[in-house]
Amino acid sequence: MKHVEAEQVQKSGLQEVLSVRDFARRHRLKKDEEERLVTLFGGFATRAELLSNARRSAVFR
């Protein structure tokens, strides 16, 4: 194991916080899925959190 000083650790950039309702509208999520995400995150979350937790139904032609 290697000891790392706090000054050597690079901090990643800030993450963009999105509105859950705007995300749901842009990704064409159903209303019940939007409400589930709002309940889960409370209105705002990062893009990675929303993408990993959103469920989309399959679209067949």
pLDDT of residue 15: 80
Statement: residue 44 has pLDDT above 90: yes
Find the angle CA(26)-CA(29)-CA(31) to the nearest 5 degrees: 120
For the chain, the residue count is: 61
55 or 13, greater pLDDT: 55
pLDDT at residue 7 in the model: 74
What's the CA gap between 27 and 2, in Å, rounded?
Answer: 43
Q: Which pLDDT score is estimated for 3?
A: 82
Confidence (pLDDT) at 23: 95
